[in-house]
Amino acid sequence: MQAATGRLYVLNRISNSISIVSTNSESVLGEIPAGTFDPTPAVIRQGRGYLYDARLSGNGTQSCASCHIDGDRDDLAWNLGDPGGSMQTVTSPLNAAVFSMHPMKGPMTTQTLRGLFLTNPLHWRGDRTSFTSFNPAFVSVLGGAQLSPADIGAFRDFVNTIIYQPNPNQNPDRTMPALFPPGDPNAGDPNAGRSTFLNEDYQPNLRCATCHSLPLGTGRAIIPAGALQESQDFKVPHLRNVAQKLRFKRSATVVSLSGFGVTHDGADPDIVTFLTRPVFGTFSADTTRKRNLNAFMQCFDTGTAPAVGRTRTVSAATLAASGADWSLLEAQSVAANCDLVVRLLENGARRGFVYRPATNDYLSDQAATGPLTHAALAAKIASGATATIMGVPRTSGQRLGIDRNENATPNGDEPLPRLGLTFATGAPLLAWPVAGAGHVLEFTDSLNPPNWQPVTEPRTTAGPTLSVPDPTAGPCRFYRLRQP
């Protein structure tokens, strides 16, 4: 909000633009790109709107994200059965087994959209063969209309990019602690729990991993109700977000941070309680094994290593103390658990680097610089530079570190936008390419000494060009574009 000029600036996240609104006329004056380059991959830009767009619902107030908040869960259970529905025949894609499922399925907790890739069939009961099979929910749940085949395909492709965050219960090097959760009466050894999960039978010829195969924690099979001692058939659920479902407490004297826990209806507050069910045979009365399995479930690998997102900003004063974290991230990059990027600020100039495990050096975003060794970067920091080191998802280091638009030209070698100057109705009109929208237009009325200030007039976009008028210009004025 800029009260003096009657301007309201609104950031539009989906379109990566800024709308300029007049607070006097309550009208939109224009819309401009928000940055020099939107690094968001096309598959995300083209599909994410279907998750958030409430206009796809019947009354314009609900979207998929109303329950799948940020593509995840709302920690609630919903009874979405259809009293007027018919029995549904579901065929398992794994073994062609046929199941007959009732339309009144009872309350079931919202499942996440994270990590759906390669986990078909979907839903607690496995009654959706793939993500596109959810298209009818735009009618039955949202009260709108089904998406076109192209649109539901774009939505599916976007959802397939949504992955789990790292499991914070793991050690930074992706190993598991010796005891977890510390201080909890049900604490156990997650490493022993993993061994039990993989190798020990709870019923003859049945182990946890028989159905919950690694690495996802699901073999994707649909299990008959009788084998589960349940009222209906269920697909084997994955286990990558069990640690997020343990905030439910059934005791009236304990504060519960969630109304639902693990299992399809959220009835069990924790894994120890779940494993006490008679279906788990010898494990049901084995306190040690239940605690160890509970610890393993809470440290279960999500598919994203704890090194991803791990960040340290290093200066001369913190260089020595940051050495262990820096070495850890290099080792995790060597182990293919993450990529490692470095952003360096030296003498006012910003440089990017990506670590190359094969050669144990850092490739620069400027062809004339580097590659540099760890020691060379450390020497720059010791001399006054500041560096931010960050573990990033595998295969993204090149884009995030040195080549944001992946055009094979490093960021530091990209040509700078050219600023043009014409006159319109006697006032200067400045223009430059939209690709340089992230640059700041500044002016000074003197170069001796200069006093650079931003031009605050609204920008307008015409095709590939941005333009800004400067009606306040005097007889002599200088302009420049500055990269922030």
Please give the full DSSP string across 15-55, using - where no structure is assigned.
TTEEEEEETTTTEEEEEEESSS---S-HHHHHHTHHHH-GG
pLDDT in tens, 369-417: 889 999 999 999 999 999 999 999 999 999 999 998 888 999 889 888 8
pLDDT in tens, 262-279: 999 999 999 999 999 999
CA atoms within 13 A on the CB side of 376: 13
Report the range of poorest mean pLDDT among 35-39, 207-211, 236-240, 458-462: 35-39
Cα–Cα dist 133/237, whole Å: 18
Report the range of poorest mean pLDDT among 5-14, 33-42, 62-71, 143-152: 33-42
Give the Cβ contact number of residue 90 at 10 Å.
Answer: 20
Cα–Cα dist 430/425, whole Å: 13
Give the Cβ contact number of residue 211 at 10 Å.
Answer: 18
Instruction: Look at residue 367 and give its three-state secondary structure.
Output: coil
User: What mean pLDDT is predicted for residues 427-455?
Assistant: 89
Asked if 44 and 85 touch (Cβ cutoff 8 Å), the reply is no
> Phi and psi for 99 in degrees, rounded to 5?
-125, 140
Cα–Cα dist 79/106, whole Å: 5
User: What mean pLDDT is predicted for residues 230-246?
Assistant: 95
User: What mean pLDDT is predicted for residues 131-140?
Assistant: 96
Instruction: Look at residue 299 and give its three-state secondary structure.
Output: coil
> Phi and psi for 88 in degrees, rounded to 5?
-110, 130
pLDDT of residue 36: 59
**Domain residue ranges in the chain:** 40-159, 190-298, 311-403, 420-482
Tokens of 272: 């120890």
pLDDT in tens, 318-367: 999 999 999 999 999 999 999 999 999 999 889 999 999 999 999 999 98
Q: DSSP label at 289?
A: H
- Which spans in 299-439 are helix H? 323-334, 374-382, 397-401
Asked if 164 and 303 touch (Cβ cutoff 8 Å), the reply is yes
pLDDT of residue 426: 78
Cα–Cα dist 422/226, whole Å: 79
Of 99, 114, 82, 103, which Cα lies nearest the Cα of 228? 99
Instruction: Look at residue 245 and give its three-state secondary structure.
Output: helix
User: What mean pLDDT is predicted for residues 199-218?
Assistant: 96
Cα–Cα dist 391/359, whole Å: 18
The pLDDT of residue 474 is above 80: no
Cα–Cα dist 207/447, whole Å: 78
For domain 40-159, give the CATH superfamily: Cytochrome c-like domain (1.10.760.10)
